[in-house]
Amino acid sequence: MKLNPEVFKTLVVIVAAWFISGCVALQPVPTAARAGDTITLAVGSADGMTTSNTTVEFFAPGVDPDLNPELGTPVPVRNVLRLLPDKTSHAWLARSTSIPRRSSHGAWLSIVVADLPTGLPEGSGTIRVATTSAVAYPRFAATPNGLNIPITILPGTGSPSSFDYSTIDGTSTPGDLTEAESLPHAVIKPEVLPEGSAESESYGAIELDVTVPISNLGGGTVVDRGIAVILDDQPQNISNQTNLIWKRNGNNFNIMLVSPVGMYSYEARISIVPKFPEYYYQISGTPVLNSITYYDLNGVVDTSVPAATISMAP
């Protein structure tokens, strides 16, 4: 089977971005498109990026975005997705380990899906991505803000991709990328370690006590199977054999991370997610982190550790 050139370029961009630890790709996919077509942008390992705090603009050939920022044409952002490499890959096991150390979050690559507006002038233009202060990036990593991303606008008028796929009966069905986006959830975020600070891998257990009010919109009891308590995907989880167990009493969650060989403090990033709409649940109040306790490999409490916060996401 012959590989489609655009598919090949997509793979090259994504793999290259992973090999440089979640950096920003300096070209869109595809690199040339008609006005009206859908493009994707690899924009680093952003935390908190959503369609509401991310903007994309197109600048016509010959326009300098720095000198004439008012001449940008808004490009609607359809989706913001997180991409993770195969967990048996070198990109996951080795290349992306610096992302959690510098961000206290998983080694994902953020992908922006955007639909070019119609009526754009042909030729070599520029894409600019901007995010608000609500979006955080790893230390010593590139951000898309202020970067010029070249794109060639081809003759003709395209249309947004519906990402059609074939079902088992041969029916063509449009894909819904919103199903690949984060559901509303509470996320516990360990404090990012200051650069140059000693990185300890000596925690045998981390215990968290949190309150997350969850209601059943259909009435009735909230059951555990309708809630997901998810340990953030980090390459360090594998080498440290980090495991998560939890129990719930009403709105109170007791969460325990255990590692037989020692884990890092930043591995304690955890999401509490109501499985909406499979279960008609939602978080109905402000989540509270009551306590977080770190234990060394001998079971002794260690007080010289970073703090953590809990908030709603996305």
Range of the domain at 249: 182-313
Shared-domain flag, residues 139 and 282: no
**DSSP-H helix ranges across 20-116:** 90, 98-103
- What's the Cα-to-Cα distance from 65 to each of 42, 62, 69, 137, rounded to whole Å? 20, 10, 5, 23
Q: How far apart are CA 256 and CA 243, in angstroms?
A: 8
CATH number, domain of 193, equals 2.60.40
Shared-domain flag, residues 213 and 113: no
CATH number, domain of 108, equals 2.60.40.10
- Which of residues 165, 192, 215 is at a domain's end? 165
Shared-domain flag, residues 153 and 197: no
What values do phi and psi take at 251, rounded to 5? -95, 0
The residue behind tokens 């995010």 is 131
Shared-domain flag, residues 133 and 190: no
53 burial type by CB count under 10 A (0-12 exposed, 13-18 middle, 19+ buried): middle
**Residue 176 falls within a domain, yes or no?**
no
Q: How far apart are CA 179 and CA 289, in angstroms?
A: 28
Shared-domain flag, residues 45 and 108: yes
Shared-domain flag, residues 59 and 143: yes
Shared-domain flag, residues 211 and 248: yes
**Residue 175 falls within a domain, yes or no?**
no
**Residue 104 falls within a domain, yes or no?**
yes
**Residue 177 falls within a domain, yes or no?**
no
Q: How far apart are CA 314 and CA 47, in angstroms?
A: 9
Compute mean pLDDT per 10 residues along the chain, 314 residues long, and list them.
46 51 77 97 92 97 97 97 90 83 86 97 98 88 89 96 85 88 94 70 92 95 96 90 97 97 92 93 96 94 86 88
CA angle 230, 165, 53 (to 5 degrees): 50
Amino acid in the structure at residue 251: N
Domain count, the chain: 2
Q: What is the CA radius of gyration of the chain?
A: 22
Shared-domain flag, residues 158 and 11: yes
Buried-exposed string 10-37: b where 16+ CB fall within 10 A, e elsewhere:
eeebbeebbeebbbbbebbbbeebbbbb
Is residue 112 within 8 Å of residue 80, measured between CB atoms?
yes
Shared-domain flag, residues 226 and 308: yes
- What's the Cα-to-Cα distance from 141 to each of 93, 166, 236, 280, rounded to whole Å? 19, 38, 19, 39
Shared-domain flag, residues 98 and 213: no
In this structure, the chain runs to a length of 314
**Residue 172 falls within a domain, yes or no?**
no
Q: How far apart are CA 278 and CA 83, in angstroms?
A: 23
User: What's the confidence (pLDDT) of residue 10?
Assistant: 52
**Residue 217 falls within a domain, yes or no?**
yes
**Residue 247 falls within a domain, yes or no?**
yes
Q: Which two tokens stand for residue 64?
A: 């300098």
Shared-domain flag, residues 21 and 149: yes
pTM, entire model: 0.87
Residue 233 DSSP class:
-
Shared-domain flag, residues 125 and 210: no
